[in-house]
Amino acid sequence: MKHALLGASKAAQWINCPPSARLQESVPEDPSEYAEEGTVAHALAEIKLRRRLTLCDSKQRKALDAEYEKIKTNPFYGPEMEQAVQEYVELVEIRVMAAKARSSDAVVLLEEHLDYSDWVEEGFGTGDVVLIADGVLEVIDLKYGKGVPVSAYNNPQPRLYGLGAWAGYNYLYSIDEVYMTIIQPRLDSVSTDIMPIADLLEWAESVVKPAAVLAFAGEGDYCAGDHCRWCKVKGNCRARADENMKALAYEFKDPALMDLEEIGSILFITEQLKVWAKDVEDYASGQAMKGNPIPQWKLVEGRSNRSISDKDAAIAALRATELGTDKFLKPEELLGIGELEKRLGKKEFAALLGTWIVKPPGKPTLAPETDTRPAMNSVENDFANTDMED
C-alpha cells in the first residue's frame, strides 16, 4: 500500500516539525503487531459495512462472505475484535441513519480515496467512512488500538480527510459544515469535532499549506513536542534531546527548599524526561541488537523466570508419587475479569456478572489540571473510609 510522504496520520508531526517528514523518509517502518492487528480490524469493518450499507448482488455477497471467512483464520481475529468491530459498525449505522434522516439521497462512501493535494504536495489518504447529506459532510475514522486514547478535537488527521472529501465532492454538493468523528470502540470512545467549512479552509491555508511547503522541501525548524510520540527517529533526534536537556537548567535542590509552584512546573519536565529516556533506551538497545555497539555499554543476558516446558509430563511425574494432588495442583479458580469479558462479550458479561463487579477507588495520583478526571479534595477527606491496597 502506497503511503504519502505528508500523510494525514503523520500530520501532527510534519505540521509542527516540518523537516521531520524527509528525515524519516529513509528510515524503514518497524513492523508492529498493533499495526497489523489494526489492519485486520479495518478489513473486517469494511466487509461488515459493505454487507450492510451497500447494494450487493449475489456475486458480491459471496465474495464478501469469502473475505469474512478468510479473516476468521487470521491469528489476530478473535471474539474481542469481532465485538469491537461490530460496535463500530453499529455506531456508523446510526450516523448513516441520521444522514438519511436529513436527506433521503444521502451519500455513503466506504474506504474512499481522499486527495488534499490542493494544500499539501502529493497529499492523499483513505477515509474509512464519508457521509454527505443536507449541507453536512462527515468523515468517520476507526481507531482499533486501546493503548492511547485518540480524540477528534483539534486533530489534523480527520481535518485533512475532511478537506480531501470536500475537495472531491463540493462541486456536486453544497457543504456548509464538516463533522470529523473518531470511533475507538475498545475504549468506548466516540468524539466528533465540528467546523464550518470556511474555518476548515482557513486552517488549511494558514496552517497546513505553509507547513506542507516546508515539509515537502525538507526545510524549516525541528521542534520537539507531543507529536514526537510516533516519530521513527524519536530515540536519536537531536532537537528532542536539546529540548529535554533544557531541564538541566533547573538546579534540582532538596524539594523541601522549593515552593509548590516550582514543583508543579518540574513535574511536567520529569514526565517528558521519563518518556524521552525510554525512547533513547529502546533505540540504543535496538542498535546494539543489530551489531552497532554503544560506547560504554554492552548487551548482557537479562533476568528470566524459570518455567516448566511440559506441564502434562510434570503432572504425570507428580501423580506417580505419593503426594496428594493438593500439593501440586490448584483448585478451580475463576478467570480474570478481562478474560471473562473477552470470552462472554461485554453485554453477556454485564448481564450475568454485573451485580458482583465492583471497582474500588484508584490509588491517588498527580495529574495535570487539563486531565478530565475530577480533582480530589484531599486523601484524608476523599479516602477517609476506604481501605487502600498496596
pLDDT in tens, 269-327: 787 788 888 888 888 888 888 888 888 888 787 777 888 888 888 888 888 888 888 77
Predicted confidence band at 102 (pLDDT cuts at 50, 70, 90)? very high
- Cell numbers for 142, please give them: 476507526
Q: What share of the chain is helix, strand, coil (3-state, %, to 5)?
A: 50, 10, 40
Phi first, then psi: give them for residue 276, nearest 5 degrees: -65, -45
Q: Tell me: the pLDDT tens digits for 226-263? A: 899 889 999 999 998 888 887 656 555 566 677 788 77
Cα 306 to Cα 70, 71, 303, 309, distances in angstroms? 38, 36, 10, 9
Beta bridge partners of 379: none
Topology, domain 8-217: Lambda Exonuclease; Chain A (3.90.320)
pTM of the predicted model as reported, rounded to 2 decimal places: 0.76
How does pLDDT run across 9-34, given as a tens digit for each residue? 999 999 999 999 999 998 887 778 88
Q: Exposed, middle or buried by CB within 10 Å (0-12, 13-18, 19+), for 41? A: buried
DSSP assigned state of 66: H
144-202 pLDDT, tens digit per residue, is: 999 889 999 999 999 999 999 999 999 999 999 999 999 999 999 999 999 999 999 99
Q: What is the pLDDT of residue 263?
A: 78
pLDDT exceeds 50 at position 122: yes
- Mean pLDDT for all residues in the chain: 88
Q: Enter the DSSP assignment of 294.
A: P
pLDDT for 325-382, tens place per residue?
877 788 878 888 888 888 888 888 888 888 888 888 877 776 777 777 888 775 445 5
